[in-house]
Structure 1
Amino acid sequence: MKNIRLSLLSALAAVSALGVGTAVHAQNEQIVLIGLAAPLTGPSARIGKDLQNGAQLAIDDANQAHPTIGGKPVIYKLVAVDDQSDPRVAVTVAQQLVDQHVIGVVGDWNTGCSVPAARVYYSAGIPQIAPASTGHQYTEQGYNTAFRIMGHDDASGAYTGAYAVKTLKAQRIAVIDDRTSFGAGLATQFIKGVQNSGGTIVDREYVDDKTTDFSGILTTIKAKHADLVFFGGIDAQAAPLARRMHQLQIDATLMGAGGFVSQTFLKLAGQDGDGVTALEPGRPIDRMPGGKAFDAQYRARYHAPIELHAPFAYDAAATLIAAAQQTGSTNPAKLVAAVHAIDRQGVTGMIAFDQEGNLKDPAYTIYQVKDGKWAVVDVLGGSTTQTAAAR
């Protein structure tokens, strides 16, 4: 009975250790928790899982190096929570991560969730690195704890609008957005880019993020003889939009940004996706400094291709770990200061932030669907010097 009791106490101690950011492990190692907030259920679950996988690889790589903090061995552990792509849920799960004493957070995926969650992390003094929230308003709130690992929509909108006018030679442009912070922000910045490049917007239409029937607005757009349709939204809606444009024989290029370029879009759109053009923040995987190695590692571990943003989640988690290692501390204030000062080579490129928390010198890639595959057309911005990633 005594042995059973001792075993039970040991098990309870181990479980208790998982509930705090820095706790004593059974082998005298500290467990240091890093949070991840992403949509792990619902229509965007495959993207959330992709983010989780990427962050987990960073955790695994760090642990293989047998890290120490303050001279004591540590084990990093990822704590993933499901924000369901719902801003209200994002706030709730953000508080859950804070209550578990994570030292930093990778998340959220979309801007609509990152914006309200940022206040929770700021109040707790915990660094939050968004791997894919491109709405500029996320870092415009003035929270020194908010960072992003890719470029924001103001720049991508300008690039996309200019590309539509100057390269694609579009003369009559229609715009659709899904009324989310992400989609509406993209559409607004795209329009500014078009207008700054001398282009003409002939129509702006609205849907919501649950719309599946685009017949009405596409009929209106067809009547206005648009030669390019820009959609501010994600791939799950972009695919049926592309199919319906084809069915209605709308002879216009479908263009988007920051949410189109995925395997899911190709599967859903089928042959109707050919010709779709999109701008995605960041370099293509084979042009990232550590992209090829990361791709091989990801496929070997998960037996599937990268969905979309896994490399950025890797860099976000790795940056939090680098801050802890550089400071030799899990103190939130020290970690926030260290992230602001960080300057390191990541998988996706150089990781350094401006005063607002935005990635310095971000890259953007223009893709087009050709024969059922995304093909790289051009890489815009970003450093032209690529070196081997320190991994």
Structure 2
Amino acid sequence: MTRKKIIPLALASLILCAPAIAQDQVVRIGLSGPLSGANAFAGKDNENGVRLAIEELNAKKGAAVGGKRLRFELMSEDDQGDPKAGVIVAQKFADAGVRFVLGPYNSGVAIPASRVYNDAGIVMSTVGTNPKITESGYGAVFRIVASDTQVGSAVANYAARQLKLKNVGVIDDRTAFGQGIATEFKRQAKAAGMTIAAHEFTTDKATDFAAILTALKSKKVDAIFFGGYAPQAAPMARQMRQLGLNVRLLGGDTLCSPEMGKLGGDAVGSNVLCAQAGAMLEKQAAGPAFQARYKARFKQNPDVYAAPFYDQTMFIAQAIRSASSLDPSVVATAMHNMSHKGVVGNYAYDAKGNLKTSTVTIYTFKDGVPVPLASY
């Protein structure tokens, strides 16, 4: 007598569901950023923005291409804010079949990595602000914020017109970002009638700025522009106070972070001004809701670029649906020909991958937190 096999109900359900599961198309989104080291706070914030977008996309279960439902997955890699590590990360993504990458965060990483991404046919979306990033003619490279040209100019114009500054010293950390934004600040500052008293140099690992600050103090500067990052700018602000150099410290978007207040303590207040690409998040229609969702998910407030990383991830998903394709070149073409209404503004790109329009907001600090002053 042949004995019938009895399939447990739970197993039978799995078998019945197998075809539906097999229909899911996994789309890996890569995140390249400094997840360790002094700028890890920024890298994690960027990662959180992408993660939140992916979780919301998967929860909707609405995106499909070729009859297959899309399931987005995040693959994060630490590029350490280092160009060599960033190139290794880019190749790792290429080998893993990643088609879309958010990052790198640092311009110095984005410039060499962009070539790897281009050669591998991967869409790269960066907040690196050095103009060189989008000058290589790569059709799938996008800058999701304003460039150094716009940010540096905004700080210079505000310093000249609103603060009436006349004699300014400049310091840069010799990184691609620091040099780029310092150059743009100097160019616009001179055009606005200010005098550049001196241009000093440091590194993105330095902690002692006494010598260069003393040199600038002797030139009687009424402000210092620093092209660099918060982990250096915060101790610089403290040392300015210790030296009796009671002038404003100006900078770009990398200073517009609560990390600046955290590291600088009471030496960081209304004396610090910075310019950040993008509009005032809390004043955007979708801004407060985004801030609330972010805080509920990650138990902290979003930092500088969580919202743009979130927005660009959503834009990529929109372009995939519009093009009905996962081919990065097809999706990139779609992104060049359409726009996306995000949390912090509208995203539409020119032929080089720069935003067609981008707001820049000037911030100062109050109780250790960036407070917006004006948008341009």
TM-score normalised to the size of structure 2? Answer: 0.92
Cα distance in structure 2, aligned partners of 1:127 and 1:74: 18
What is the CA deviation profile of residues 6-57 of structure 1, one whole-angstrom value per residue up to 9, with x for unaligned ones? Answer: xxxxxxxxxxxxxxxxxx9955312111111111111111111111110011
8 Å CA contact retained: 2:104, 2:110: yes
TM-fit CA distance, 1:101 = 1.2
What is the CA deviation profile of residues 146-186 of structure 1, one whole-angstrom value per residue up to 9, with x for unaligned ones? Answer: 10111000111112112111211111100000000000111
8 Å CA contact retained: 1:52, 1:80: yes
Counterparts of 1:41-120 in structure 2 under 5 Å? 41-66=36-61, 67-120=63-116
The one of 198, 201, 212 equivalent to 1:206 is 201
The one of 297, 305, 312 equivalent to 1:309 is 305
Query: Partner of 1:123: helix, strand, or coil?
Result: helix
Relative to structure 1, the CA distance from residue 168 to residue 336 in structure 2 (aligned partners, 3 Å threshold; closer, same or farther) is same
TM-fit CA distance, 1:142 = 1.2
Identity of aligned residues (%): 38
Query: Partner of 2:135: helix, strand, or coil?
Result: helix
Amino acid paired to 1:342? M
Amino acid paired to 1:151? A
Query: Partner of 1:255: helix, strand, or coil?
Result: strand
What is the CA deviation profile of residues 285-343 of structure 1, one whole-angstrom value per residue up to 9, with x for unaligned ones? Answer: 20234211110000000111112211011012111111111111111221121121121
The one of 355, 360, 368 equivalent to 2:356 is 360
Query: Partner of 1:141: helix, strand, or coil?
Result: coil
The one of 165, 172, 177 equivalent to 2:172 is 177
Amino acid paired to 1:98? A
Q: 2:154: which partner in 1?
A: 159
Cα distance in structure 1, aligned partners of 2:96 and 2:318: 21
Amino acid paired to 2:42? I
TM-fit CA distance, 1:140 = 1.0
Amino acid paired to 1:93? V
Counterparts of 1:253-332 in structure 2 under 5 Å? 253-274=248-269, 275-332=271-328
8 Å CA contact retained: 1:126, 1:336: no
Relative to structure 1, the CA distance from residue 25 to residue 202 in structure 2 (aligned partners, 3 Å threshold; closer, same or farther) is farther
Amino acid paired to 2:372? V
Q: 2:230: which partner in 1?
A: 235
Query: Partner of 1:174: helix, strand, or coil?
Result: strand
Query: Partner of 1:35: helix, strand, or coil?
Result: strand
TM-fit CA distance, 1:373 = 3.2
8 Å CA contact retained: 1:289, 1:349: no
8 Å CA contact retained: 1:25, 1:31: no
The answer on 1:37 being equivalent to 2:35 is no
The answer on 1:369 being equivalent to 2:344 is no
Relative to structure 1, the CA distance from residue 374 to residue 332 in structure 2 (aligned partners, 3 Å threshold; closer, same or farther) is closer
Counterparts of 1:216-231 in structure 2 under 5 Å? 216-231=211-226
The one of 241, 259, 269 equivalent to 1:246 is 241
Please list every run of 5 or more consecutive structure 1 residues that lacks an aligned counterpart in the other structure: 1-23, 381-391
Query: Partner of 1:212: helix, strand, or coil?
Result: coil
Relative to structure 1, the CA distance from residue 319 to residue 69 in structure 2 (aligned partners, 3 Å threshold; closer, same or farther) is same
Query: Partner of 1:269: helix, strand, or coil?
Result: helix
How many correspondences in the alignment? 356
8 Å CA contact retained: 2:316, 2:335: yes
Relative to structure 1, the CA distance from residue 319 to residue 201 in structure 2 (aligned partners, 3 Å threshold; closer, same or farther) is same
The one of 129, 140, 144 equivalent to 1:145 is 140
TM-fit CA distance, 1:139 = 0.4
8 Å CA contact retained: 1:107, 1:128: yes
Relative to structure 1, the CA distance from residue 372 to residue 81 in structure 2 (aligned partners, 3 Å threshold; closer, same or farther) is closer
Cα distance in structure 1, aligned partners of 2:20 and 2:50: 22
The one of 334, 338, 351 equivalent to 1:338 is 334
Amino acid paired to 1:312? P
What is the CA deviation profile of residues 218-275 of structure 1, one whole-angstrom value per residue up to 9, with x for unaligned ones? Answer: 1111111000110000111110000000111112111111100111111111111122
8 Å CA contact retained: 1:144, 1:356: yes
Query: Partner of 2:370: helix, strand, or coil?
Result: strand
8 Å CA contact retained: 2:114, 2:124: yes
Q: 2:4: which partner in 1?
A: none
Amino acid paired to 2:344? T
Relative to structure 1, the CA distance from residue 289 to residue 147 in structure 2 (aligned partners, 3 Å threshold; closer, same or farther) is farther
Query: Partner of 2:244: helix, strand, or coil?
Result: coil
Relative to structure 1, the CA distance from residue 82 to residue 371 in structure 2 (aligned partners, 3 Å threshold; closer, same or farther) is closer
8 Å CA contact retained: 1:289, 1:346: no
Cα distance in structure 1, aligned partners of 2:336 and 2:369: 38
What is the CA deviation profile of residues 91-119 of structure 1, one whole-angstrom value per residue up to 9, with x for unaligned ones? Answer: 11101111111121111101111111111
Please list every run of 5 or more consecutive structure 2 residues that lacks an aligned counterpart in the other structure: 1-18
Relative to structure 1, the CA distance from residue 321 to residue 208 in structure 2 (aligned partners, 3 Å threshold; closer, same or farther) is same
